[in-house]
Amino acid sequence: MERTKKTIIVFSGDLDRALAAFIIANGAAAMGDEVTMFFTFWGLNILRKPEKVPVRKGFLEALFGRMMPRGAGKLGLSRMNFGGLGTAMMKHVMKKKCIASLPELIATAREQGVKLVACTMSMDVMGIREEELIDGLEFAGVATYLGEADEANVNLFI
């Protein structure tokens, strides 16, 4: 089978949509495809380090940063979140059924060489610095995305 390319824009920062994105990405990578994921807007939250990173920010940037979830372990479901209870239930069920968690899926994606790209313009808007995101990312803008999408045969927006 020939090696093809896939791109996924991860716009959403919801746990369920992030799971879907990584399951598709890892599946494609396992089948030998080249996969690039572009994290933009709320999707950037998936890539945040769980700990507070000391960086200089303006007031609004700091406020945005505090209000948004810090990393894959903190995301909630897009529906039935119920103040975190639904999300906890879902995680519990997934663990019991031996389905990989989001942090595990991210680790697998990195091992498989899925390219994780953070959108620099979104980082600027949201006041998120490189040091606040997990290691091993690339940083790029819409032109890079379009270049990759032109070479890919499947392009999704999640």
User: Residue 67 has which token pair?
Assistant: 């209000």
Q: Tell whether residue 130 is a contact of a second copy (CB under 8 A).
A: no
In the sheet that holds 5-10, the strands lie side by side as 138-140, 115-119, 34-39, 5-10, 154-157
Which residue from 72, 142, 82, 148 is spatially nearest to 110, judged by alpha carbons? 72
Which residue from 124, 132, 126, 117 is spatially nearest to 8, judged by alpha carbons? 117
Q: Tell whether residue 9 is a contact of a second copy (CB under 8 A).
A: yes
Min dist. Cβ of residue 15 to a second copy (A) = 10
Contact set for a second copy, span 100-119 (CB under 8 A): none
Report DSSP letters for 5-21, one per residue.
EEEEEE----HHHHHHH
Q: Tell whether residue 42 is a contact of a second copy (CB under 8 A).
A: yes
Min dist. Cβ of residue 135 to a second copy (A) = 26
Binding site for a second copy (CB under 8 A): 4, 9, 11, 13, 16-17, 20, 23-24, 27-28, 31, 33, 40-42, 60-61, 63-64, 67-68, 78-80, 89-90, 92-94, 97, 99, 121, 124-125, 127, 141-143, 145-146, 149-150, 152-158
